[in-house]
Chain A
Amino acid sequence: MYRLALNMLFGDRAKLAMLLCGLAFSALLMAQQSSVFFGIMSWTYTPMVNIRAQVWVSDPMVEQVNDAKPLRDTDLGRVRSVDGVAWAAPLHTSFVQARMQDGNFKLITLVGIDADTFAGAPAVLTQGRIEDLRLPDTVIVDEWGASLMGRMGVGPDGKPRSTPLKVGDTFEINDIQARIVGICKVRRAFTGGPFVYTTYDRAKGYTLGARRTLSFMLVEPQKGVTPAELCGRIERDTGLKAWTSDTVIWSWGERSLARNTFWWFWTNTGIPFSFGTAVLLGLFVGIAISGQTFYSFVLENLKYFAAIKAMGAGMGVIARMLFVQAFTAGLIGFGLGAGMAQAIGRAMIEKGMPPFVMFPQILWATFALVLGISFVSAVIGIIKVSRVDAASVFRG
């Protein structure tokens, strides 16, 4: 009977198209909005991705990576003396204004890294060399930032330029010249500003000699010491907070700075509510359209279901037929919706638009919700058919 149930479903192409549209739209909305949400949320811990180190050390009051609380430079020595530390390097991060050639200002994320070890330096440079950061007044700008800041610059002819900044171009940070010696490829951040890398000591100069400029310390454990183990030792010996660089936000690791950052934004901003509303909307739209369409499909076939009942099919058989129809539509609708979400995501990424992270969990959750919609639709149909009297087939 299931094959016939499917033929009944596929035989009514108009209804099937409507049903699939509802389910696909619902799946698209849920998968796409969730992926954009997790994409944006993954930007919140971008520094953890761009600046690689096994252990990060911060002030004990720090809750997330974008909110650094300055440490004393002497803390670096204290950390280096902890048993199990292979090396520790200073890291400065701050938001400062950069002044472009056309006089415009742009908020940038200034990253000061250790000039000796280059610990925390960007992994991929598309132009220039990292070693050139040791030259006076030099910086490395990220690709997207170079493009953004390039549009604010002035060309050799004195007219506004439209090309990205390149090696050799200059701008100012707090009236101090910054000469570009490299362009790097890093992930964009939630805070939006371009990443400008320089040396830790020069960063001090750019921040006009702020009393404390040490934002984090990047630490490497000695061989045989796990990051979590070293974090415990650092906290015990120095009273500072030590974090692992694990970026799996689904983990329950208390020491993951990325995870803490993610959940800080989750609980302290309206982003989850906003995107959650869109996902719920997708769910309700799916239930409304699919439930309504499937119900009307059942209504249209009601006299045939009554005839099948009269011929001796029990409600169990008819219920299974309706489940087969609803779940098949759900499966196809999910495939279409998830496929469209993927396609939109790819297009967005290619155009450098907002982030899009489709975790397998998002697909599974969307799949479960679409099946939930199908289940509700089938149950509505089953209730209707169960109330039909088999004797009604003799009433014309």
Chain B
Amino acid sequence: MSHQAHTVAVRASGVDMFFGTPENQVVALKQADFEARRGELIMLVGPSGCGKTTLLSVIAGTLTPQAGTVEVFGQRLDGLGQEELTSFRRKNLGFVFQSFNLIPTLSVVENVMVPLLIQGRPYDEAQARALAIIEKVGLKGREEGRPNALSGGQQQRVAIARALVHEPPLLICDEPTSALDKDTGAHIMELVRDLSRSPERCVVVVTHDHRIFRFADRIAEMEDGRISRVVDDPKLLDTSHL
């Protein structure tokens, strides 16, 4: 096995994804290639409708592409059945959503426990681990409160805790700062970077928010359903159209 194979966390090659009927087809991804490395935080950027979210869904295994291959931590996703994909997500993925998606009728700690309970972990163990990570994201004392009683930044911290509580190798963040102000967004990204920085983990962030580009190790720019270029320095990006 080559050194490159060891370092690649996510690889998508020649991915096609279409929506709609053959007569009224919308091309979301066209021969898209993407690669993310272990230990890095990579951002997917581009104008609205360029296919960022679709590519993210393909990597997350919630969408199956019509063509191409997707490999996440050595596991080929194309060809897996729905049950195998579900099981793959359960073990390997953590999600941070744009609108947090915290269940309002559950307490903070219960929300964080969800991925562990989905894995079938005992309630007490899930609770203990959830409490530990809630402390790490700086919300000690708010465990029993409802998410609606928290600020946007605090809610996103809960979402990050939920995404990382089961220690997934791949963390997927969809517009994690779009609902937050500049300072809160920066704090959230610091948190994501600090908590997820590990040689065995990869973080893929889809964002429009150029204020957080500085947190990325690399930035992949998308255009018309494919990756147009990948840069190491955000200053090299033309952000006027983002």
Is A161 in contact with chain B by the CB < 8 A criterion?
Answer: no
Whether the pair B110, A304 counts as a contact (CB closer than 8 A) is no
Docked-complex contact A4 and B87, CB < 8 angstroms: no
A314 contacts partner chain B, Cβ-Cβ < 8 Å? yes
Q: A residues 295-333 with Cβ under 8 Å of B?
A: 301, 303-304, 307-314, 317
Q: B103 touches which one: A10, A301, A313, A314 (CB < 8 A)?
A: A301
Taken together as a complex, chains A and B put the C-alpha atoms of A395 and B206 apart, in Å, by 12
Write out, one digit per residue, whether chain B residues 227-240 have a CB within 8 A of any chain A CB (1) or not (0): 00000000000000
Stretch at the interface among B92-100, B150-158, B190-198, B218-226: B92-100
Q: Which of A186-194, A256-264, A362-370, A385-393 contacts B (4 or more CB under 8 A)?
A: A385-393
Least distance between B133 CB and chain A CB atoms (Å): 15
Q: Does B60 contact A (CB under 8 A)?
A: yes
Q: Given the complex, which residues of B lie within 8 Å of A393, measured CB to CB?
A: 62, 95, 97, 101, 174
- With most chain A CB atoms within 10 A of its CB, the pick from B62, B87, B106, B206 is B62
Complex: A145 Cα to B61 Cα, angstroms: 79
- Report if A8-B106 is in contact (Cβ < 8 Å); known contacts: A1-B117, A312-B118: yes
B-side interface residues, number (CB < 8 Å): 36
Q: Is A394 in contact with chain B by the CB < 8 A criterion? A: yes
Closest to B162 in A: A311
Residues of A contacting B53 with CB < 8 Å? 394-395
Are A310 and B118 within 8 A (Cβ)? Answer: no
- Enumerate A374-396 residues with CB–CB distance to B below 8 Å: 389-391, 393-396
Cβ-based interface call for A174 (8 A): no
The verdict on A238 contacting chain B, using a C-beta distance below 8 Å, is no
B104 touches A11 (CB 8 A): yes
Given the contacts A307-B97, A393-B95, A317 and B118 also touching, CB distance less than 8 Å: yes
Q: Is residue A159 within 8 Å, beta carbon to beta carbon, of the partner chain?
A: no
Nearest chain A residue, comparing its CB with the CB of B117: A1
Does A116 interact with chain B (Cβ within 8 Å)? no
CB-CB under 8 A for A11 and B105, given A311-B89, A396-B99: yes
Please determine whether A312 and B106 come into contact, CB atoms closer than 8 angstroms: no
**Is B115 interfacial (CB-CB < 8 Å)?**
yes
B83 within 8 A of A: yes
Whether A311 touches B118, Cβ cut-off 8 Å, given contacts A390-B62, A391-B57, is yes
Binary per-residue interface labels of chain B (114-138) against chain A in the complex, 1 for a CB within 8 Å, 0 otherwise: 1101110001000000000000000
Taking a contact as CB atoms under 8 Å apart, the answer to whether A8 and B103 are in contact is yes
Residues of A within 8 A of B (CB): 1, 3-4, 7-12, 301, 303-304, 307-314, 317, 389-391, 393-396
16 contacts between A and B (CB under 8 A): A3-B123, A4-B117, A7-B105, A7-B106, A8-B106, A9-B105, A304-B101, A304-B103, A307-B101, A308-B118, A311-B95, A312-B93, A393-B97, A394-B60, A395-B53, A396-B99
Interface residues of B (CB under 8 A from A): 53, 56-57, 60, 62-63, 83, 86-91, 93, 95, 97-99, 101, 103-107, 110, 113-115, 117-119, 123, 146, 174-175, 206
The 4 A-B residue pairs whose C-beta atoms are closest, nearest first, are: A11-B105, A312-B90, A391-B62, A312-B89
